[in-house]
Structure 1
Amino acid sequence: MAMLDLVSGALLADRSDPAVVLEPTADSAALSAASGDGRVVAIRFPAFGDGRGHSLAVLLRGRHGFKGEIRAVGYLIPDLAPFLLRSGFDTAEITDANDVETWKGALTRIRHLYQPGLRNPQPLRRDASRRAAEELNARLAGIESLSERIAEVRRSVEGRIVFSTSLGLDDQAILNAVAESGADIDISTLDTGRLFQEVLETVELSEIRYGLRIRLVTPEASEVEALVARDGVFGFRHSVDNRKGCCEVRKVRPLNRELAGAQGWITGIRREHSEARADVALAAWDEERGLLKVNPIADWSTRALTAYIAENNVPVNPLHARGFISIGCQPCTRAVQPGEHPRAGRWWWEHEEKKECGLHMNPRREGKAA
């Protein structure tokens, strides 16, 4: 069984003192500074119900690559034990040594995935994760309502779930279902720096309509500067490798940072999009990112999608009415002509059979549909 060390205040003299103690309000700069020490980082829990410490631990492990000991201090109760372990903590500092057995009992009830820590180095139990993905895929296939599918995902996945939206028709339908279900899901979009103005306007309209915040996730400025210095402002049109390099910096890396520490990832992929996506599952284990990838409308037809949008009066990007079906960055997207494939407007100067930016590479590896 994975271990979470338990220490009482009387035993602290025999342990390494924390190099730094982080408050729940610690920002990215404080996390970066703490992760560079490599020793013990303590995270304070000031009150019951304040779960920000869990997020800090996840960010230290996933985003900052911290490999040392993370210790929970402050207001802690035994019921927190499995959640501390899943978040990446190694040690819980408890005030009463008599509570140790109660804490150990809480640990024996773990039945879900957990994040890596110094004493539980395996990021996730992969075999169990694959089985969980297969079981969720089967359950989703038996649920017709999209909002119920979203609710089932939330019930089935412990920890943070990210819905990364492009604000296209597929993702707007999912956004409507997320709002309808009331599920606790982190919603974000990749702001590559080259989006259509209409996309950002759709962000604002959707936030007003649903009362949900859609966070903008941006690439690292230094990486964009290096990319443009190397390839030029429009260097992505000079070769396929250049274009994929641009997608890597502006989309793939920001998404990977966004998904760090998440247990679930919701996307708007559908089987009708392309041959490469023809057998994508409703839910599958993403081996590379170490999380459950859910495509809740994978089995929807375009007719079913448009009917849902009309029936629910879902706000849509005005570009769709101008012939833009699959919308990416402005320099890489054009309107689709009658009779063309829906993705013909993406990177139209390329002649590859399969055009992907790297966000959803080789869905076949993620599991077949039921």
Structure 2
Amino acid sequence: MKIDITKKLAQLKNDGRKVLGCFPLYPPLELFYAMDLVPVVLWGLRGTATDTTESDRHLQNYTCSVARHLTEFALSNGSGLLDGLFMYNACDTLRNLPEIIEKEWEKIGQALPLIKVHIPMVLPAQTDATAYFKNEINHLIKDLEERFDVLFSKDKFVQAVKQIKYVRDLMARAENRVTDGHLSFLNFVDAIHECWFSTVEEQIRILESLIDELSDEPAFSADKDSRHGVILSGILPPPTSVIHAIESSGLRIVGNDIASLGRSYASMPETREDPAAYFLDFYYQHFPCPTLLYTGDRRTTSLLGLVDKTGAKGVIFVGEKFCEYEYFEFPHLVQQLKDKGIQTLEIEIAIEDDAQTSAHDSRVSAFSEILKNNF
């Protein structure tokens, strides 16, 4: 990725902003902005350190790269760039990281706020956790007020909701330009990645510029109609070289079911003054993701719906190595797609794969040939 994350965070601090580092995947960004904080979502951190020496002292080598890079960043230089950390129970690995980070920060004399919220991973039709969830959000508001000496304002919350809604709409519009062949997926990914480490105002500027500066010329020499459309699915987008391999092999990325991309901006609840009611809708009506266990029954329907909407001929599953949530769901999704005549490719990205993707590139090329021969 092109941005210097450390430099971006340092600039926010120099500007006098309070920066809240948020564990992936779907933090309540609107609430943090309403409380005069700048939330940054801590994924896509591969380039912030040369290795994971500090992280590896605490985490097993069969931990996913998202957790290892996040921990390395937090222990190496994150404490000097952040004013606090927020996490929710996104997965078993991320759930256990705060204690490690907190203890290590204490050793070096850092006492940054560590803010937690628990989202009940239950099916609403079977167990009504509404009261518990709303209590969690209300407690979160009080915690933020006390730790950062701010007061919650309904007006500021509504304003933040409207801003985030506009940002998500811009992200969806930019994705549409990828689909129609006027924007490369790599440039799109770079822009979204920069947004996760920017203020909401800067996100709007980044995305508006990305869309407005596009020409009517296609991003690729070949006509888009001659390129078979594929959807990417996974937690993170694939490494740059794999994206290049996809786009240079004659394939066209027409949709994404990526947690850090499409799943993050696909859902936009109705504007409400009450944060508890708003986030109840946000989390429990969220675009399906395997980390939101109660959305599991909607995963197949949503992915097949995306295939139908985009006319994709294939789906490339970009697996995050050691992510058990993906391990459990990929076989079922692959079978459902094959039953519909949709070709699939599964690639697994490990922590060391940034510089060693030739095998993935070759498989992408072979997959492209399969699509050309079958359609």
Same-fold call, TM cutoff 0.5: no
Q: Which has the larger radius of gyration?
A: 1
| TM-score, length of structure 2 as denominator length | 0.29
Identify which of structures 1 and 2 has the higher relative contact order when contacts are C-alpha pairs closer than 8 Å and 6+ apart. Answer: 2
| TM-score, length of structure 1 as denominator length | 0.29
Larger % of helix: which? 2
